[in-house]
Amino acid sequence: MPRHVVITGASSGMGAALAKLYGIPGTRLSLFARDSDRLETVAAGCRSNGCDVEVHAADVTDAAAMERLLLACDSLVPVDLVIANAGIGGAAVLAGKAAETGDLARRIISVNTLGVINTVAPLLPRLVGRGAGQIAIVSSLLAFFGVPACPAYSASKAATWIYGDALRRLLAPHGVRVTIVYPGFVDTPMSQSLGFRGLLVWSADRAALHIANGLARGRREMLFPWPLALVVRGIRGLPTALADLLLTQLHLAWVKSNARSRRGLEGR
């Protein structure tokens, strides 16, 4: 078990579930999120279990603040594990017929891509210098192809995938392990905003346990839930024209289904 764990996006969803999982006696947690009230609630639960916790109400898009805070955390107790989990998704990142606005696209890239870099990059020299440590980068199953409903979101997660992929190969000779996590639908506020339920949706606690077990085994990648991961890999293997047709038709069907649902709600 790592002694000092940094988790971003720790105020809800998978981040909060990971904090609860790692929040045991003998472990120090450094939790980052924008919502200070929810973050304090998560931290209080961990402290009640005997865990040493510090919280930082910080925005991962603020590179200077993240670097200052992360280096201060590491100076107090050397960081063993960094989980770059913060991100935006769900209904907030859906595109219209003409794709996302420029402001929204830039916001998505800033949080989901630059936020990961701002979380990981400040600590890399110290991890490499110690010849130890582990980094977990949370990407998405939607990183593997461009989803019509959310082009910028797909792009932001694809960028973190490639960034982590390269870091893993760069840092391995120096004793630093990198794992990329590709969740599908997890029962968090983001997924709930899209209305997804059912067998292909994991609870946040289940996802956190799967991630922690995979990190303990040193896995390079984790894709889940596995049925959805198989579908994604299958689409990746299709010829481009066929993948375009399939994804476009699925998107149109999804748009029509949402329109019918809205009409049904308005008619009540």
Supply the residues annotated as catalytic.
153
Is omega for the bond preceding 225 within 30 degrees of 0, making it cis?
A: yes
The pair of structure tokens assigned to 49 is 């279990």
Amino acid at 193: S
Q: How far apart are CA 9 and CA 7, in angstroms?
A: 7
- Give bridge partners of residue 202 from the DSSP assignment: 186
Burial 13-29, CB ≥16 within 10 A → b, else e: bbbbbbbbbbbeeebbb
Q: Are residues 222 and 262 in contact, defined by beta-carbon separation less than 8 angstroms?
A: no
Encoded amino acid at 230, one letter: L
Task: Please list the alpha-helical segments (H only) found in the chain.
Answer: 13-22, 36-48, 63-76, 102-109, 115-120, 124-130, 151-171, 189-192, 204-216, 226-236, 240-266
DSSP string over 145-199? S--TT-HHHHHHHHHHHHHHHHHHHHHGGGT-EEEEEEE-EEESHHHHTTT--ST
Residue 242, burial from CB neighbour count under 10 angstroms (0-12, 13-18, 19+): exposed
